[in-house]
Structure 1
Amino acid sequence: MDFKPDYMNITDAAYNRKAKRLPLYEHSISTVHMERILNKQLANLINGNYTDKLEYFKWLCEFYKIMGYDTVSFEVAIRAVFPNGGALDKHVTPAISTREDFNNYPWDEIPSLFLKSSDESFWALKQSLPAGMKMIGGPGYGIFECIQDLVGYMDLCIMSYEEPELYSDIFKNMRKLFVKIWKNFLDNHSDMCAVARMGDDLGYKSNTMLSAEDIKKYIVPGYADVVSLAHSYNLPFLLHSCGNIFNVMDEIINVAKINAKHSNEDQIAPFPVWVEKYGDLIGNFGGVDADVLCRMDKPQLKEYISDVLAKVSAEKGIAFGTGNSVPDYVPTENYINMIEIVREYRKG
């Protein structure tokens, strides 16, 4: 029998309700795996004209459907349109290092630049979604990551001590920018969303990348703005954030008012720990440590997944997949194994 997606499974999980069927979820899946599984070259189609984009999303939706997902994960990166951006992950001179840089930066141009870069893709996806399926995502990257893309992480940390007023003003401007970009997206595309999502990695294995106080003061209020917007369009909000962020989770839940959270790594805390800590308050998306997915054969992986699901499957608000994403270095066979194990499990 053909799989019939039902986006309400993900929406229910995000609202911390018990879904009718345990939904599969990934933050992202490399197109390397999609091309191998579909036997179709599709990655470059997204960069073509509108007809190419329609072809891309036809196959993207087909992939998610045949693998048993209820939603398509898709985002367009905000930081990709930043003039002179790239300090997040490239060896480039930061766009903003001084007050003069800040004052001269074309903040007001970015919403229109993002609209120009993203709107065709969002419309093409909307036109391609099969019955019962919606998207999860939206404007990609979060407030902290986008600031790093303009300032650089190390320079941002130094700025917090040497130029605290500039440091504060950069967060304020990014917060305003996110509201404009997200409002424009939701005005046009909220109808195809099952869940609005932001990805913003705040931590590493032992702590947060900024002090908990600064995250609470400068980042969480920006999250609250975007979450409130999503809620005004009757959408739940999912935060993807890697790292050990336990010391700011109370504010992320109670001040930002997210509905669900994704990302887990066993060295920080296995997925059942997140569910035990926060399952009464928010939905929890994740499950399989990415390193485990890379290393384990199918019998080992089945034992691992069965153990995790035994601990969490009775709980509400669960969507299952990796605790991070499925990058190209994960063996495609291992990813398929995970999907087959979970789909077999949910048959009962």
Structure 2
Amino acid sequence: WRGDENKRGAALLGAPRYTEYLNVKPLPCINCPIGCHRHIRFEYPDGTVLEGNGPEYETIGMMGSNLLVEDLGAVAKANDMANRLGIDTISCGAWIGFLMECWEYGWITPQDTGGLSLKWGDPDVLLALVEQIGTMTGMGGWFREGIRGAARHIGREAEKITVEVKNMDYPAHDPRAVYALGVNYAVGTRGACHERGNPQTSALGGYFPELGQDGPHDRQSPEYAAKTAVIHQDVSVLMNCMTICQFMMGGGGLTLTEIRTAYRYLTGKDVPVEELVKFGERAWQLQRIINVRDGLDRKDDTLPLKMTVPAMVGPRAGKTPTPHDRILDDYYELRGWDRNGIPTRERLESLGLGRFAAFLP
């Protein structure tokens, strides 16, 4: 999260080299026109062959670019190891980068690492730490309570360099490129999730004319950040509730009008698009009520310190999703929450959720 550009890494990790180097073939779900999964077959110098699911975008971002690891074969192997160990490649890559940065600052030593030198870009370090994290051995045991637990264990200034919300690590989408992501992560029910709200797609022209959006707005403007986050969250939760893949609205070309038609065919109920999207809002409000019941409020809707530091070059130069408090205020107002992030009884009543106000302070 401290780098500005990595054109060499992008060329070595991304397409077309990715497709050619790993002998990639699309691996679609049944009847899917997109095929976002990848089947790979790669032979290593020692003659061993890796065949199966290949690393996807987040894995390449967090286990590749995030660590300055440019060895596609190593990233593919790390992905396979993580899959077999049952661990998330986003957090795993984030944790390894965190350890590398702590090593760089001298906050952890060879005594802590068992003699392993945690150098940026080292594929052997990547593979060693995936195994430790997956088995909770060595330094992997530091993460039993997530990255916050590891930061407390290391001490020094470690808590200031973490990039997380509610102890969930940021995925490979930067709010300094799309401001709506900053508030989307901050208010996320389970933390920094890019699949409960996909405002990053607004940078690629993703918008909803059925909801009155006349086109994509400036992705690096605080003026539109909160509204963009709200709309994408409601649509995202709606699609999750209906078990529709979110890629279908981008690469698949599915529209909210077509989802409305499908809903009518399935249920016999003709619901306007605006009312259909309110299903998503109701689910989001219920999730917030659970968070508030469990003690979460504005103090937990945070922006990591690194997200306030702009790039020096490239499209993020001089850009940060700040002032965060102002964007958060805008978001709370749109959601019908008070200044502390608590849903108001009035908004809940308007959505038919008034009975759940009993769970609020």
Under a length normalisation based on structure 2, what TM-score does the superposition of the two structures give? 0.27
More strand by share: 1
Q: Which protein is bigger by CA-based radius of gyration?
A: 2
The answer to which structure, 1 or 2, has the higher relative contact order (CA under 8 A, 6+ apart) is 1
Under a length normalisation based on structure 1, what TM-score does the superposition of the two structures give? 0.28
